[in-house]
Amino acid sequence: MKKVIKNTKKGILMVAMLAASLSFANEGTPFFRLASNAKKTSLTLDYVKEGNTLYIKDSYGVKLYEELIKSNGHYVKGFDLTALPDGAYHFELDAEVQIKVIPFTVESNTIKFDTEMAKTIFKPTVRIKDDLVFVSKLALNNEPLKIEVYYEKLNSSELVLTETIKDTKNIQRVYKLTDDLKSGDYKIVFTTNGREFTKFINN
């Protein structure tokens, strides 16, 4: 704790934001439909945006398929998933503020989807205005968010602030870059839902 307080005095002042809009969480939220026959599984996603990325990953997170979405709106494609070895897999749509996960299993060339296990992981979002860094995240299951801020030096990083936010569905923080903060590059590392997200800023 002493280290955190000391580093905070050196340059980062954390202020809890009292109110903020969560409208971003509902904009462009993709939903899916599935249809299967003996060989093909048809995946339909609505409200996709150009630049989103669709993956197929195994249970270890290894990418088996990757496709960059090239147009906004409606995505439909057929996949032959029967060629995959028996095991657990998932489709993953990586969008701007969220990741949509659609799990399935392969067993003896049979594809099984459990749509109730599909989930949305909301990413931390960062907005910079003047000397303020705004951080927002929707945590529907009260999942904790760990935030680490690093000063990036040549071949090394210095941790200048760390905190873990728990027990709230609406995570909002404002970090103020004070006058005595060293100019240069900073890295913010977010850890949540077993995943890591990184944002770089220049002061």
Distances, alpha carbon 175 to alpha carbons 126, 136, 169, 172, 188, in Å: 11, 11, 19, 10, 11
pLDDT, residue 25, reads 39
Count CA atoms closer than 13 A to 110's CA, side-chain side.
Answer: 3
* pLDDT of 199 strictly over 70: yes
How sure is the predictor about 84, in pLDDT bands with cuts at 50, 70 and 90? very high
Distance CA(130)–CA(137), nearest Å, equals 21
Q: What mean pLDDT value characterizes the chain?
A: 82
Question: Are 65 and 81 within 8 A, CB to CB?
Answer: no
Q: Which domains does the chain have, with CATH numbers?
A: 32-121 (2.60.40), 123-201 (2.60.40.730)
Q: Residue 142 — left, alpha, or beta (φ > 0 → left; ψ -120 to 50 → alpha)?
A: left
Residue 6: predicted pLDDT:
37
User: Do the beta carbons of residue 129 and residue 177 sit within 8 Å?
Assistant: no
Residue that the structure tokens 């770089």 belong to: 200
pLDDT of residue 152: 84
Between 8 and 120, the more confident residue is 120
pLDDT level of residue 181 (50, 70, 90 thresholds): low
pLDDT the model gives residue 27: 41
Q: How far is CA 170 from CA 19, 25, 192, in A?
A: 10, 11, 14
Asked if residue 153 has pLDDT above 60, the reply is yes
Strands across the sheet containing 73-79: 31-36, 41-48, 73-79
pLDDT tens string 104-128: 999 988 899 988 889 899 999 999 8
**HEC per residue, 126-189:** EEEECCEEEEEEECCCCCCEEEEEEEEECCEEEEEEEEEECCCCEEEEEEEECCCCCCCEEEEE
pLDDT band for 21, please (50, 70, 90 cuts).
very low
pTM of the model: 0.76
Q: Is pLDDT above 70 for 50?
A: yes
- The answer to whether residue 62 scores a pLDDT higher than 50 is yes
User: Which is higher by pLDDT, 109 or 10?
Assistant: 109
Of the pLDDT bands very low, low, confident and very high (cuts 50, 70, 90), residue 94 is: very high
Half-sphere CA count of 182, side-chain side, radius 13 A: 13
Confidence of residue 8 (pLDDT cuts 50, 70, 90): very low
**Beta strand pairing call for 170-177 and 156-165:** unpaired
